[in-house]
A and B are shown apart, each in its own frame.
Chain A
Amino acid sequence: MTEKLVIIGNGMAPGRMLEHLLEQAPGRYAVTIFNAEPRVNYDRIMLSPVLSGEKDYEEIIIHGDGWYIKHGITLYKGHKIVAIDRQAKTVTSDHGVTEPYDKLVIATGSVPFIIPVPGHNLPGVLTYRDLDDVRAMMLAAQSRAKAVVIGGGLLGLEAAAGLNAQGMDVTVLHVMPTLMERQLDPAAGYLLQRAVEQRGIKVITKANTQAVTGNGKVEQVELADGTVIPATLVVMAVGIRPNATLAKEAGIAVNRGIVVDAGMRSNDPDIYALGECAEVNGMVYGLVAPLYEMARVAAHQLAGNEAAAFVHSDTPTKLKVTGIELFSLGDFAEGEDRQEIVLRDAAAGVYKRLVLKDDRIIGTVLYGETADGAWFNDLKKKQTDISEMRDTLIFGQSYQGGAPLDPMAAVAALPDDAEICGCNGVCKGKITGAITAKGLTSLDDVRAHTKASASCGSCTGLVEKLMVLTLGDTYNPAAVQPMCSCTTLGHDEVRRLIKAKHLKTIPAVMQELEWKTSCGCAKCRPALNYYLVCDWPDDYADDYQSRFINERVHANIQKDGTYSVVPRMWGGVTNAAELRAIADVVDKFEIPMVKVTGGQRIDMLGIRKEDLPAVWADLGQAGFVSGHAYAKGLRTVKTCVGSDWCRFGTQDSTGLGIRIEKFMWGSWTPAKVKMAVSGCPRNCAEATCKDVGVICVDSGYEIHFAGAAGLDIKGTEVLGLVKTEDEALEHIVALTQMYREQGRYLERIYKWAKRIGIPEIKRQIMDDDAKRKAYYDRFVFSQKFAQVDPWSERVSGKDKHEFRPMASVGFAQAAE
């Protein structure tokens, strides 16, 4: 019979334990989880990137809802367990659910420590522990006002950097003389403080907080020396303590945390504890590596392997603040029996210190340059005698044994049991073994199979180097292709950083992201201009000099330097007056060629640049606006005649096409977007090879996307069926906005969809109503600034210089 396993808490440790348990003893337990937080298991280490805006919550989910369903696990979200009855072997939640257990795992984590100063409970005082805290901080940050972070440790600094990235004016208060004093020696602490201050964050050390004051909400923080710091947000990040209250009330042995043996078992043999709430051999832990080790041990124990035991090991600390390189490991206090090796390079902002005892490394602090962290960690773990290489040890692995190694050779030289991923305790041999045995070819595969670089991600570079070593040329780490030769960053990274760092001009992007050229090139400038137009529709001033000539003069350049002009014909429908106006323009300007396009429009070719404003003026008189036939934007919506005329038409396809076009014209997109609406599955408008297409059917509107009929030929994918025209419009707009926000410049929808995955796009647009609505709203907002007819603007005199020569020289008087 299956035994009942109940887990209290749904953090990273019990999540990892379940993964191991499902592997080792599938089907042995019926699992029920109670999670006080109303959500699934997510990666708490990545809360800092969420706060700084570099990642979304969705990106840090470890186990989505589907995972629990797939494994038959019952998850009670938002249920806090209030009592454990050890006699009856049941637990009871605050919503009154009582669940019996055979085995119970307590994983209640920790609670943030609140300094009990007056005012600590005022609204506006937050802690930094879970997603709710992060969301509250992001909300508070919208005010762009002043924030105080109390605590200059790992969490406090990450919170400060995140709030700073969100635009707040941040002051960090730290009670000790230097930052992160538990992980860093004073010299590295000083360098860190300088780097933090260079980001515009104020740091006050030896700051003794006396009170938080304000009228009904936080207004200021007062220090013991009389300093008063105004603030509308106070984040307390001074430490955590194990959350063992529930266990204590149930009569389980509790010291600092819940006391467990090396097999993670409490003094009640049916109750285990793991994670931050557990105390093993007198130690409690807060970093993920030992917590995952506890998870491994607990899973083995629950699967019946009683020999599994937890062994303490030092875990390196890294700070997850973009641009600050910091690594700390072990013990680095000074002592009579210890020696140290120090390397400083003030100009490069590098500081390295190794603490030695009996010719063995016992502690390491690296600041500014941390590539050798893994190697030092390995030497320390193995207690390698370093006396032979002592003179060059501090210079790192590359300097040992003759000529300096390149970074690739350094990785190749690591032994198989060298730890690569500290968070998940994955060694080199396990990664290379999995790559070979399972035929892994992508970073995501390696993450899925080995967990290496799947948590904080700081070892991604090392993992990629291992992939290159193992796979040779078949692995192309330039999955991240740089945007152009002006930068090493790829499009996605640049888009992410534009949002995260609130970069709102092209010079700001180039400065902050360390562009290698002074003003970019013809590849990156149009891309950056698009990203900024898309991300900051209300703030960003379009840089015309960074647009391709077609988008600058709103016509298509031809091989002889003349231009072609395509007026908009909504849905491909026109009338006698419009055709007459076009005929008149063709005569007046002696336009050599008139052609019907594939998108159901009329193209006038061979117009001289100087004539463009006059051509537009005449077309504008007849009611025409620009057809954007030149734009990386919405081009045309082709339609068939639909139910108005066609005996097979099921819906008003012409009307819907016109409606979509009128709603979406003027919007800029990563690459051109062509649409079509067909009134029945006979598909006369050829909607199934378009970027976005609609096939009308009796029961509604089938929305298609990701087709291609150019360099590549590809039928569309079906997004889904909706019942009404309004819904069709909302879904199409949301899909387009998703593409606008995620697409790389010049990447058509079908390529973007292939990269993101059709199921993910369906999930966000079809299944997630809130998300779809949010995309829709953002599109509508940006249209307020985009729907301006560029032709009439220019007829009114905008960019006059574009269309006239600056001067005429050298002609005989009569010629002018």
Chain B
Amino acid sequence: MNWIAIGTISEIPRRGARCVATPQGKVAVFRTQDDQVYAIDDHCPHKGGPLSQGIVHGAAVTCPLHNWVISLETGKALGVDEGAVRTIPVKVEGERLFLALEALASRAA
């Protein structure tokens, strides 16, 4: 797998997210309270809300538009809502973060 460097973990606030711009749209990279890092499409399966702008709690994010709660691990909507967003593999090496390039490329398909 090809990994592409996107920066360091300290650039993302705890319980927060940053975006990575790609030709196919934004990817939201999340950092949880306990420093787990996850990447998912910045696009809520409900109405396309920017998930990177939501409140992060545990390993989940609440979409800022209509409060869907999305699991950062699986990309699936939690609770009664149904839907899923694509997850992108993340590698953490010390401070540095990498996204799986193949996953980004295949997303257009």
User: Is the pair B21, A519 in contact by a Cβ cutoff of 8 Å?
Assistant: no
Which of chain A's residues have a CB closer than 8 A to the CB of B14? Answer: 545
A806 → B minimal CB distance (Å): 4
User: Is the pair B15, A522 in contact by a Cβ cutoff of 8 Å?
Assistant: no
User: Is the pair B21, A518 in contact by a Cβ cutoff of 8 Å?
Assistant: no
B53 → A minimal CB distance (Å): 4
User: Is the pair A548, B50 in contact by a Cβ cutoff of 8 Å?
Assistant: no
Alpha-carbon distance between A374 and B101 when the two chains are bound, in angstroms:
67
User: Is the pair B13, A801 in contact by a Cβ cutoff of 8 Å?
Assistant: yes
Alpha-carbon distance between A561 and B62 when the two chains are bound, in angstroms:
15
Alpha-carbon distance between A540 and B51 when the two chains are bound, in angstroms:
28
A525 contact from B18, B20, B57, B67, Cβ within 8 A: B57
Q: Interface with B: A55-63, A277-285, A723-731, A807-815, which one?
A: A807-815
Q: Is A699 at the interface (CB under 8 A from chain B)?
A: no
Which of chain B's residues have a CB closer than 8 A to the CB of A519? Answer: 15, 33, 57-58
Which of B47, B53, B69 is most buried by chain A, counting CB atoms within 10 A of its CB? B53
Which of chain A's residues have a CB closer than 8 A to the CB of B65? Answer: 557, 559
User: Is the pair A522, B55 in contact by a Cβ cutoff of 8 Å?
Assistant: yes
User: Is the pair A545, B6 in contact by a Cβ cutoff of 8 Å?
Assistant: no
- Minimum CB distance partner of B105 in chain A: A810
Q: Is A520 at the interface (CB under 8 A from chain B)?
A: yes
Alpha-carbon distance between A766 and B105 when the two chains are bound, in angstroms:
67
Size of the A side of the interface (Cβ < 8 Å), in residues, is 30
Contact string against B for A residues 776-816, beta-carbon threshold 8 Å, 1 for contact and 0 otherwise: 00000000000000000000000001000111111100010
If A549-B54, A557-B65 touch, whether A810 touches B15 (CB-CB below 8 Å) is no
A810 contact from B7, B23, B48, B50, Cβ within 8 A: B23
If A545-B13, A808-B21, A809-B21 touch, whether A520 touches B57 (CB-CB below 8 Å) is yes
B79 → A minimal CB distance (Å): 10
Q: Is A521 at the interface (CB under 8 A from chain B)?
A: yes
User: Is the pair B54, A522 in contact by a Cβ cutoff of 8 Å?
Assistant: yes
A249 → B minimal CB distance (Å): 68
Which of chain A's residues have a CB closer than 8 A to the CB of B72? Answer: none
Q: Is A14 at the interface (CB under 8 A from chain B)?
A: no
Alpha-carbon distance between A545 and B64 when the two chains are bound, in angstroms:
13
Which of A548, A550, A806, A815 is most buried by chain B, counting CB atoms within 10 A of its CB? A806
Alpha-carbon distance between A548 and B62 when the two chains are bound, in angstroms:
10
Which of chain B's residues have a CB closer than 8 A to the CB of A522? Answer: 54-55, 57, 62, 67, 69
Which of A519, A548, A807, A808 is most buried by chain B, counting CB atoms within 10 A of its CB? A807
User: Is the pair B29, A806 in contact by a Cβ cutoff of 8 Å?
Assistant: yes
Q: Is B12 at the interface (CB under 8 A from chain A)?
A: yes
Alpha-carbon distance between A520 and B33 when the two chains are bound, in angstroms:
11
Q: Is A384 at the interface (CB under 8 A from chain B)?
A: no
User: Is the pair B55, A525 in contact by a Cβ cutoff of 8 Å?
Assistant: yes
Alpha-carbon distance between A520 and B5 when the two chains are bound, in angstroms:
31
If A525-B55, A525-B57 touch, whether A805 touches B21 (CB-CB below 8 Å) is yes
Q: Is A574 at the interface (CB under 8 A from chain B)?
A: no
Which of B6, B21, B34 is most buried by chain A, counting CB atoms within 10 A of its CB? B21
User: Is the pair A806, B16 in contact by a Cβ cutoff of 8 Å?
Assistant: no
Alpha-carbon distance between A500 and B54 when the two chains are bound, in angstroms:
32
- Minimum CB distance partner of B6 in chain A: A807
User: Is the pair B64, A557 in contact by a Cβ cutoff of 8 Å?
Assistant: yes
Q: Is A526 at the interface (CB under 8 A from chain B)?
A: yes
Q: Is B104 at the interface (CB under 8 A from chain A)?
A: yes
A805 contact from B4, B20, B48, B104, Cβ within 8 A: B20
User: Is the pair B26, A805 in contact by a Cβ cutoff of 8 Å?
Assistant: yes
- Minimum CB distance partner of A810 in chain B: B22
User: Is the pair B18, A815 in contact by a Cβ cutoff of 8 Å?
Assistant: no
Which of chain B's residues have a CB closer than 8 A to the CB of A807? Answer: 5-7, 20-21
User: Is the pair A561, B50 in contact by a Cβ cutoff of 8 Å?
Assistant: yes
User: Is the pair B53, A806 in contact by a Cβ cutoff of 8 Å?
Assistant: no
A-to-B contact residues, CB < 8 Å: 517-522, 525-526, 544-550, 552-553, 557, 559-561, 801, 805-811, 815
B-to-A contact residues, CB < 8 Å: 4-7, 11-16, 18-24, 26, 29, 33-34, 47-50, 53-58, 62, 64-65, 67, 69, 99, 101, 104-105
Question: Could you jot down 25 A-B contacts, CB within 8 Å?
Answer: A518-B58, A521-B62, A522-B54, A522-B67, A525-B55, A544-B13, A545-B16, A549-B64, A557-B50, A557-B53, A801-B11, A801-B12, A801-B18, A805-B18, A805-B19, A805-B26, A806-B7, A806-B12, A806-B19, A806-B29, A807-B20, A810-B104, A811-B22, A811-B23, A815-B23
Top 10 nearest A-B pairs (CB, nearest first) are A522-B62, A806-B18, A545-B15, A549-B53, A522-B55, A808-B21, A807-B6, A561-B50, A549-B64, A519-B33
